[in-house]
Amino acid sequence: MMKRISHGPGPALVYCKIKADLERLRNILSAALPQVQLHFAASDSEAAPYLPEAQILYGWGFSGELLRKMPNLRWVQKMGAGVDDVIDAWPLHRDVLLTRTDGRMIARRMIEYVIGAILDRTARFPQGRQQQQQRVWHVYRPQTMANLCIGVAGLGEIGTEIARALRLFDARVIGWRRSEAPCEAVSEIYAGSARLPPSVAQCDVLVLVLPLTQESKNIFDAPILQQLPMGAHLINVGRGGVLDDQALLAAIDSGRVGHATLDVFETEPLPKGHPFWSNEHITITPHVCGPLLPEDVAAHFIENYAAFAQGRPLRNVIDVTRQY
C-alpha cells in the first residue's frame, strides 16, 4: 500500500493528455495524497485556471511554454524518463527543480519490445509470413541470439535493464555511453565519442536507448551508420532525434542496415508522406514500447512528493544545463 502524505506544499497540477489515464491518476493520487490540493488537466485550456497558483507540475504531454505561465512553480516532475520536450523552454532564471520518473518503472515493456524485435528477425518470422501468403512450403533455418553481438547505446536505467535481459539469451552484449562509468550488465563498455565507431562496428544488432540532448542530436549519422556490419539490425526505442533519417535510408539502400525497428521519430506523429512508411526494411510502431501507465509510475511521484514536502533530496533530479 502506498504511504499517505497529509501535509506539504501545494497546490499541484497533474497533466495527462489521455483522459482515461488522467482518471486513474486522480484515483491513485487522491488516495495517497488526501490533504494535497490536486488539480487535473488533459489540455492547456483545462490547465489554465490552475496555472497562476500551482507550485508543482506532474505529468507529460504539456508544452514547455506552459511553464512560463506558472509564476509560483517550484518543482516539475515528468511522468516519463525523458525531458527533452521541455528543456528548451526551461525557466533557467528561476529556482525550479526538474525531476523525471525512474526509467526502471517503464523498462519491462521496453525490454520485451526489444527482445521481440530481435526474435522476429532471428526466428525469421517475416519469411514465414511471406511464405504463408504465397502458400509455399520451404524449410529454412532460424538463427539464434546466442550468435549475435548486440550493442546497447545508452546505459541509463532503461538501457542497463535491456542489456541485462539480453545477456540471458547468451548474446554478447556490449554498451556505449557518453561518459566513463561501470556497468555490470554488459561485457564491454565503450565511452565517449571517439569510442562510438569501434563499438558500432561490432554490432549485429544496435539498440538505441539514448536521451535527446544537444550532444546526442543526430549522433547516429551517415559516418557512424557506415561502421555497422553489413545487414545489421537497428532498433530505436530512445528518442527519434538521435538518428539521422536520411542517413538511415541511405544505409538501408546500401545494405549496411538490413532492417530497422523504430518506435520513436524526430517528428511525432510520423508525417504521412515520410519515406519510412513505405520502406519494406523498416518496422514502424507509434511510440508504444514504453507506455506511461499510472499504476507503474505514480509511486515515484508520491515518493518524491514526500521528500519535497519534508525538504529531503529528490530522486532522479535533472541537471538542466546537461539536459539529463
pLDDT digits (tens, 9 = 90+) for 37-52: 999 999 999 999 999 9
pLDDT (0 to 100) of residue 320: 85
pLDDT (0 to 100) of residue 302: 97
What pLDDT digit, counting tens, does each position of 193-245 carry?
A: 999 999 999 999 999 999 999 999 999 999 999 999 999 999 999 999 999 99
On average, the pLDDT of the chain sits at 94
pLDDT (0 to 100) of residue 93: 63
What pLDDT digit, counting tens, does each position of 97-126 carry?
A: 999 999 999 999 999 999 999 999 999 999
Q: Are 237 and 263 in contact (CB under 8 A)?
A: yes
Residues 68, 112: Cα–Cα separation, whole Å? 38
CA 229 vs CA 3, 150, 206, 224, 306: distances in Å = 51, 12, 10, 11, 49
The CB density around residue 242, as the number of other CB atoms within 10 Å, is 25
Percent over 90 (pLDDT), the chain: 88
pLDDT (0 to 100) of residue 3: 43
In order, the DSSP letters of 25-42 are: HHHHHHHH-TTS-EEEES
pLDDT (0 to 100) of residue 2: 42
Residues 198, 151: Cα–Cα separation, whole Å? 11
Q: How far apart are the first and last CA of the chain?
A: 31
Q: Model confidence at 92, in pLDDT bands (50, 70, 90)?
A: low
Domains of the chain: 12-103+293-309 (3.40.50.720), 107-284 (3.40.50.720)
Give this prediction's pTM: 0.91
pLDDT (0 to 100) of residue 252: 98
Q: Are 235 and 117 in contact (CB under 8 A)?
A: yes
Q: Model confidence at 312, in pLDDT bands (50, 70, 90)?
A: very high
Report the side by side order of strands in the sheet with 97-100. Answer: 38-41, 12-15, 56-59, 75-78, 97-100
pLDDT (0 to 100) of residue 258: 98
**Close Cβ partners of 133 (under 8 Å, ≥ 6 residues apart):** none
**Is residue 7 scored above 90 in pLDDT?**
no
**Close Cβ partners of 62 (under 8 Å, ≥ 6 residues apart):** 15, 44, 47, 86
What pLDDT digit, counting tens, does each position of 162-195 carry?
A: 999 999 999 999 999 998 899 999 999 999 999 9
